[in-house]
Amino acid sequence: MTDSSSEHPAPSSEASLSGATGTHGASAAEATATHGERHSFWTLTIGSVGVVYGDIGTSPLYAMRESLLHLGHQPSTEEVIGIVSLLTWALVVVVTFKYVFILLRADNHGEGGTLSLMALAQTAIGRNSTLLLALGAVGAALFYGDAILTPAISVLSAVEGLKVATPVFEPYILPITIAIIVVLYAVQSSGTGKVAALFGPVTVVWFVVLAVLGVLHIFDAPVVLHALNPYHAALFLVDHGWLAFIVLGATFLAVTGAEALYADMGHFGRGPIRTAWLGLVLPSLVLNYLGQGGLAISHPAAIKDLFFLTAPEWFRLPLVLLACLATVVASQAVISGAYSLTRQAMQLGMLPHLEVQHTSQTQAGQIYMPKVNWLMLAGVLALVIVFQSSSSLAAAYGIAVTGTMIVTTLLAIVVIAKFWKFGWLAAVVCMTPFLIVDVAFLSANLLKLPDGGYIPLILGAAIVVLMWTWIRGVRFVEGRIRRESIPIAEFAKSMSTSSATRVKGTAMYLTSSPEIAPPALLHNLKHNKVLHERNVILSVRTERQPIVREDERIEFGKVSDEFSTLIVRYGFMEDPNLPRALAQAKAYGLPFDMMKTSFFVGRRSFRASASVGMPLWQDHVFIGLVRQSFDVTEYFRIPAGRVVELGNQMVV
């Protein structure tokens, strides 16, 4: 669906960056601009370390430990080397090659994420595809599963380090974890930018500490450096058969932040994200896994608390505190990713439109969504209270992320083949190795189903049902309106001879279908017996691109002397501002004076019926979603005093 109307409000984000240039001193201005761009680039790079890589940066807390414990016995030197090699090459293949080198190039006008990629794929094939829509919905739904698991496992694993520092803290681990999580979600309204500015430098320190701790213990067993050779990863998989398959599900924990990396691209940009990964994050992670491997070889008894025991005893408590800060940032990666994903889903007609608050005057992608925030908090707290330990949560972790990664790979094949024009053969050849890796990781993670892996799948299935219900319900309502409506050209012709009283001013009727007479117009004429001297059928459309150029914003059409149509286009990452767009419409011959214009909005209520439209249970779900929609007048930024609401009831 690409239409959004007042009856089904559609948020997004008006992001226009403007600047002023002087008439002299051009070279100085250019030098200042270049310096400003360089400063902004490094600011965004440091910010991306905090937000984008927070998730994957905390994987050393548990990934190596869980992989070794899954062996079920004290590992040999070769087994430790094999697991370190698996962790290292998972980072290289999945994150570096697939996401950083390939998928960061598959941006939709600067935006990333599953739904952005889906919209790009639909643009590439030139039509709405039900299959691509379904893939996008599944990928997005599974991402939400990851978004509530990541804060739970990350914060719990960090706080558990307190009992390594001193057993006194053991009874307080759960309360401290809950307190940290509540504070994290409470500060989200201050904005991603402020959170990144606060935690970006902290996370830079975290990665430096990871590298230093790793280097210290590599020399405990220098033989661990053999893990840099992928031969040892392959040898481990071949030699250990089914056991290797089980361990593979744990090693996947090392790359669980990769999808958030792609989803958060709109917040920081491709360049800063890529620079941060190659310059700091990847080297620090590899060095730390090598160091943990060296300690595991030289002191096998340390495996149970492997990460925290890499630190000298005097540094363990500070390391726990630093880890807690780092895991808060790790959670930020999926929280901000969930906001972006939800806004894209709303604009693409897959979810009702919820309140979106902008938290930055310069970065349009930095937003806060209250309802999404508090629902996620409830989910995270429920997981922490039910599972109570990071090892238990690790069993539930991974399935959602691998599922989303598979969806992303499939959508990327379409984009590479059709949008980049490489052809289907080249696209399949390019992405099949990544698809094989994704499927292998998914298969290994499916072994976790009985131990909690079903949780993200249940959550994902529930969100898919919500998306499917919303799409189906909106299509039913719009289809019914069209069947019962009158073409606007025919209606305008009949009104030319009508004796209805004409009043001065302009009436604007918001609708998703500008080719028909809106129900609000018919109700106004039927009940009030009046017609304005100028009547504009106004439709807001959401395109498959994040931002629409200003010169493509407006499409104005004349139907008759009294009637005209106006289509205002926005990208799926923009927030409609109708007063601004209508002021722009003056250039098209539409006189606009806010104080002489009335906006007629259809306020439709719904009644469920088992004999009409969707099944009864789905009717109730759809009606519940409608009630959650953000108020249309606030969303379109229409002054409340200029709005006339006309209600009617429809059976669905």
Q: Which residue matches tokens 């780092």?
A: 326
The closest alpha carbon to 389, from 311, 309, 451, belongs to 451
Q: Are 573 and 364 in contact (CB under 8 A)?
A: yes
Residue 196: predicted pLDDT: 56
DSSP character string of 455-472: HHHHHHHHHHHHHHHHHH
Measured on CA atoms in the order 418, 420, 421, 422, is the torsion positive or negative?
Answer: negative
Please tell me the predicted confidence (pLDDT) of residue 2: 38
Q: Where does residue 167 fall: left (phi above 0), alpha (psi -120 to 50 degrees), or beta otherwise?
A: alpha
pLDDT at residue 599, as a whole number: 87
183/189 Cα distance (integer angstroms): 11
In this predicted structure, what is the pLDDT of residue 35?
Answer: 36
- State the pLDDT at residue 106: 85
Give the span between the Cα atoms of 134 and 142, in whole angstroms: 12
Q: What is the pLDDT of residue 5?
A: 37
Give mean pLDDT in consecutive 10-residue pieces for the chain, a chain of 652 residues. Answer: 37 29 33 45 79 82 88 89 94 92 84 84 84 88 83 83 78 88 83 62 89 93 94 91 85 82 77 90 95 93 88 87 79 77 83 76 65 90 86 76 89 92 92 91 83 82 90 85 82 84 87 83 82 88 80 86 88 78 78 80 77 82 84 76 75 73
Degrees to nearest 5, angle at CA 181 with 175 and 185: 145
Q: What is the pLDDT of residue 406?
A: 92
Give CA–CA dist 306/611, Å, rounded.
Answer: 61
Q: What does DSSP assign to residue 253?
A: G
Identify the residue whose tokens are 């310069």.
362
Measured distance CA(531)–CA(505) in Å, rounded: 10
Distance CA 53, CA 272 (A): 12
Q: Report the sign of the C-alpha dihedral through residues 268, 140, 194, 544, in that order.
A: positive
Composition of the chain by helix, strand, coil, percent to 5? 70, 10, 20
Residue pair 530/502 in contact (Cβ under 8 Å)? The answer is: yes
3-class state of residue 40 by DSSP: helix
Q: How far is residue 218's CA from residue 216's CA, in Å, rounded to a whole number?
A: 6
Q: Are 513 and 650 in contact (CB under 8 A)?
A: no
Please give the pLDDT value at position 82. 94
Q: Given the DSSP bridges, would you call strands 563-570 and 597-607 parallel, antiparallel or unpaired? A: unpaired
pLDDT the model gives residue 126: 82
